[in-house]
Amino acid sequence: MSDWSANPPRGRRPQQGGYDYYARSRGGGGAPPQPPPARRTGPPPPPPRRKRMGWGKRIGIVVLVLLLVVVGFGIYVDSVLQRTEALEYDGRIADTPGTNWLLVGSDSREGLDESQREELSAGDAAGRRTDSMMLVHIPTGGGKPALVSLPRDSYVPIPGHGKDRLNAAFSIGGPQLLAETVETVTDVHIDHYAEIGFGGFSDLVDAVGGVDMCLEEPMEDEKANAHLPAGCQELDGPQALSFVRARYSLKGGDLERAENQRKLLGALTDKAMGPATLLNPFRMVPLANAAGTTFLLNDSDHVWHLFWLVKALGDVSGGNGITTSVPFGDFVRTDSGQSVIKWDSANASRLFGAIAANEPIPDDLVGP
């Protein structure tokens, strides 16, 4: 047998089995060598497409950003709020159910220059006085909030100063003595204190673009600089301030003024909580700045407490709350000749007893 297949001539390969046969005959193995890859002649392939963000994730990011903006803005407003130790005194009434605010309108001229005093008819009186005091009760358990006017001429005992008008407590001892007096005569624990002055009230009204009021009769009050026609109209800041200060031209005097104050406070709250304000940064930012720089709160109060107060006032103005005044008996004169209001002791006790017990105010005590 020829040995040609075992020793093939140089340059020749056996045909049987192709490369594998030849490789095995040499003791090797494996696959044949691959040809080099063909060179691309066209454009390079496009990069892989990025996966688009889903709508759910986009909405979540937007909500998160808005939440951070709101929280940051709230922290800013809280940082510029003015505070005082209004509820720091001995002999406080024990805590009662629900949340109670003492809301005070101050005639303080502090911070007003000469032109502002003239525009607001603030006069030159020194110190701090108040013509507007209200008790706001926010019940627990889903009841209706109540806004109770405390007439400035109420003849009450002032701790350490005998009997006098209620607003005298504020003139004598500021927020502390006023809060102590209110707690003493009502037996209602006050949880929060809020005070706003001349310029602040006017700025708040201007910040929301004015408030709508309807007057059954024209108002002409020189001392308050109130010159308003009868009918529905929009009041700017100075006009609104004149409206709530006027009393000498009113048939009901101080009691009718207290009713007007509640009406305008409700109109202001409605405008401030409406979408035209909350969704408009050109109104919301000035409103928040005005609130932050003109409200005076108790030293433990914060902007979130103020939010719940505004919400309660909105409920009251929207018909989901109660507005009333302290029941009174007669107008009497003191030994010094002052005309003062004497409370109806029995009905006043019923009113404040219901508030202290977090119970509904009796229907016969609800009214102007």
Distant-in-sequence, close-in-space partners of 54: CB < 8 Å, separation ≥ 6 = none
User: Quick check: 219 and 226 in contact, CB under 8 A?
Assistant: yes
Residue 268: CA count within 13 A, CB half-sphere: 25
SS3 labels along 100-153: EEEEEEECCCCCCCHHHHHHCCCCCCCCCCEEEEEEEEECCCCCCCEEEECCCC
Taking the C-alpha atoms of residue 339 and residue 97, their distance in angstroms, rounded to an integer, is 35
At 355 the pLDDT is: 96
Taking the C-alpha atoms of residue 26 and residue 247, their distance in angstroms, rounded to an integer, is 122
At 103 the pLDDT is: 94
At 146 the pLDDT is: 94
Mapped onto helix, strand or coil, the DSSP state of residue 328 is strand
What type of residue sits at position 82? Q
CA dist 239 to 11, 194, 264, Å? 115, 22, 11
At 147 the pLDDT is: 93
At 102 the pLDDT is: 96
Residue 287: CA count within 13 A, CB half-sphere: 23
pLDDT tens-digit readout, 112-165? 444 544 544 444 444 577 888 999 999 998 789 999 999 999 999 999 999 999
pTM: 0.74
Structure tokens at 363: 């229907």
At 122 the pLDDT is: 47
Residue 227 region, left (φ>0) first, then alpha (ψ -120 to 50), else beta? Answer: beta
User: Quick check: 162 and 338 in contact, CB under 8 A?
Assistant: no
At 19 the pLDDT is: 47
What type of residue sits at position 292? G
At 359 the pLDDT is: 93
Taking the C-alpha atoms of residue 180 and residue 198, their distance in angstroms, rounded to an integer, is 24
CA dist 329 to 80, 288, 295, 332, 362, Å? 43, 41, 34, 9, 18
CA dist 216 to 152, 230, 232, Å? 25, 6, 9
Residue 68: CA count within 13 A, CB half-sphere: 5
* Parts of the chain with a pLDDT under 50: 1-2, 4-5, 11, 14, 16-17, 19, 21-23, 109, 111-114, 116-117, 119-126
**Nearest CA to 263 among 221, 213, 194?**
213
Longest dimension (CA), the chain: 155
Distant-in-sequence, close-in-space partners of 22: CB < 8 Å, separation ≥ 6 = 13, 14
Structure tokens at 32: 């044949």
pLDDT tens-digit readout, 96-105? 999 999 999 8
User: Quick check: 348 and 366 in contact, CB under 8 A?
Assistant: no
